[in-house]
Amino acid sequence: MVKAIFFDIDGTLVSFNTHEMPESAYQALKQLKQNGIRIFIATGRGKDGLGVLRDLEFDGYITLNGQFCYTKDSVIYENTIAKEQLEYLVSYLKEHPFPCGFTLRDTKVFNYRDERVDAIHAITKNDNHPAGDISHITEEHVYQCMAFISEEEEKELLKHMPDCTSARWHPLFTDISPKGGTKQKGIDHFLAYYGIDLEETMGFGDGGNDLQMLEHVHTAVCMENGAPQVKEKADFITDDADHDGIYKALKHYHLI
């Protein structure tokens, strides 16, 4: 029996084409709540990027790929990048400049922006934060860094940031996060909080940063637009958001 369902946002709950949650998904999630099933967000977005969820109230939010997990009433778990790792990254950026967004609890600060950042904002409508001075950033609580680098540059950078890991859902950038906080870990924190077994879980996702989550939950659903490696791990592949994929999958499993 499914008691908890975890949803990615971009490319899953929210369409890459309309940048909105389809009405069918909105109504389906409301029906899940009426049926007594707990619903959770599991996203790479921060708190400031959740406006796309409209007025839905979730039972928990796994944000920043698991670095900051909370309910409407309390923080369940948080994990920040160590100061020495931030100091190295800031120093690295001076010699090897690339756009980098430093995510704080409620906002994001970029060192500078270029067409790559604008291209991602065109997809997510969530990365319009201005560029500014980052000299103070090593004194802040930084949960995640949005680094606009290639996979080769990513590997080189992480050699010098051993306490961090990365997750990529788009070729233009990778999310660099402290080890210990993942969507998978976020799920475990909420299962313990609500007293739910892993066998009673389901997850929906599409990108590389959803892979661990979908490998972890009992029933994994991938969207039609999902990455090939994510589809391989799915128990069920549903239509994309524009074609009512969330609604169809929940009907398939007789949850609504």
Indicate if 92 and 219 belong to the same structural domain. no
Indicate if 173 and 185 belong to the same structural domain. no
Domain boundary among 178, 212, 236: 178
Indicate if 193 and 159 belong to the same structural domain. no
Indicate if 164 and 88 belong to the same structural domain. yes
Indicate if 158 and 122 belong to the same structural domain. yes
Please report, to the nearest 10 degrees, the dihedral formed by the alpha carbons of residues 3, 6, 12, 15 taken in order. Answer: 90
Domain of 228 in residue numbering reads as: 4-78+181-252
Of residues 175, 104, 126, 97, the one with CA closest to residue 14 = 126
- CATH number, domain of 100, equals 3.30.1240.10
Of residues 97, 108, 119, 100, the one with CA closest to residue 46 = 108
Structure tokens at 153: 């540059």
Indicate if 160 and 92 belong to the same structural domain. yes
Nearest 5°: phi and psi at 150? -75, 170
Query: pTM of the entire structure?
Result: 0.86
Indicate if 87 and 120 belong to the same structural domain. yes
Number of domains in the chain: 2
237-246 as b/e: b if 16+ CB within 10 A:
ebebbeebbb
Indicate if 68 and 191 belong to the same structural domain. yes
Position 40 scores a pLDDT of 98
Domain boundary among 178, 212, 232: 178
Indicate if 48 and 165 belong to the same structural domain. no
Position 106 scores a pLDDT of 85
Position 32 scores a pLDDT of 98
Domain boundary among 178, 199, 214: 178
Please report, to the nearest 10 degrees, the dihedral formed by the alpha carbons of residues 201, 166, 148, 75 taken in order. Answer: 60
Contacts of 24 (CB under 8 A, 6+ apart): 244, 246, 247
66 sits in the region (left: phi over 0; alpha: psi -120 to 50; else beta) called: left
- Mean pLDDT per 10-residue interval, the chain, length 256 residues: 97 94 98 98 92 96 94 95 96 96 91 94 81 93 95 94 90 92 94 98 95 96 96 97 98 98
Q: Could you list the active site residues? A: 8
- CATH number, domain of 221, equals 3.40.50.1000
Indicate if 87 and 105 belong to the same structural domain. yes
Indicate if 99 and 54 belong to the same structural domain. no
Position 122 scores a pLDDT of 86
Position 83 scores a pLDDT of 95
